[in-house]
Amino acid sequence: MFDLLVKVKDNKKISPDLWVLSFDSEKLAQTIVPGQFLEFKVRNSTDPFLRRPFSVYKIKNNTIEILYEVVGEGTHLMSELQPGDTFLSLGPLGTTFTPQKNKKVIMVGGGVGAAPLVFLAQKQDFDSMMLGFRGESAVLPLSEAIGDDNKWVYATNDGSVGHKGFITQPLEELFKQEDSPENLFIYSCGPNPMLLEVARICQQYGVDGEVSLEERMGCGVGACLGCAVLTKSKGYVPSCKYGPVFNIQDLELDELKNSG
């Protein structure tokens, strides 16, 4: 784990709602693994007091890219960073996705939950990347696709891009059409309501998988206990230390529903 002062390489909008910040770090680029995250301190002050967690979106050589949406003070400060500005990056933190070799891999993301899945797609072969968004302004451009863009499936709540409705609907249709759904493996990241539905569908069809939780991880190392989630195997655990990647069968879904 490193706490590094890094320099902004680029910080730009790629859609009306989505930004990509990039910086170079050989240490982080060579050590971070899909599923892990970084904690950023973008201003040298106590306001905001806590760092903000971000999943890696892409790595090209030693350049790390972060996908984000401006939703609060921390990300607003990030959007104001200019090339040459510096900030602190702590990591790699958290657990990783488990590589799959003998199963048909489906990735399911919601909103900026697409970020860790796109990074995973740089390392892991997959059969379908299924992404859901609020509407056209929040859609990840297809130009950002990793691999064959014919494998990418979009859904928007209003039907402005792709399937109209939630991405879990075409996911369930895919399960229904699969002769042996037990040969599928799901990786998923996004808001809790989406993850709950993904988990429900997986349990119904006997599909195994892993989910990356979008919890508020203030410290990133399990000290503040602000991101505790309930698991079947270990009880309450800090998501930043024992996650953010969990086996889909190990999460207590009722508790996840209450925390959403």
**Residue keyed to tokens 């206990």:** 225
Q: Which residue has the higher pLDDT, 222 or 194?
A: 194
Torsion angles phi and psi, residue 55, rounded to 5: -80, 150
Confidence of residue 219 (pLDDT cuts 50, 70, 90): confident
The number of helix segments (H) and strand segments (E) in the chain equals: 7, 16
pLDDT at 125 over 80: yes
Tell me: the pLDDT tens digits for 148-167? 999 999 999 999 999 999 99
Give 61: exposed, middle or buried? Use CB within 10 Å, 0-12, 13-18, 19+.
Answer: exposed
pTM of the model: 0.93
Domain ranges of the chain: 2-93, 104-259
- 2-93 folds as Elongation Factor Tu (Ef-tu); domain 3 (2.40.30)
pLDDT of residue 227: 84
User: What is the CATH number assigned to the segment(s) 104-259?
Assistant: 3.40.50.80
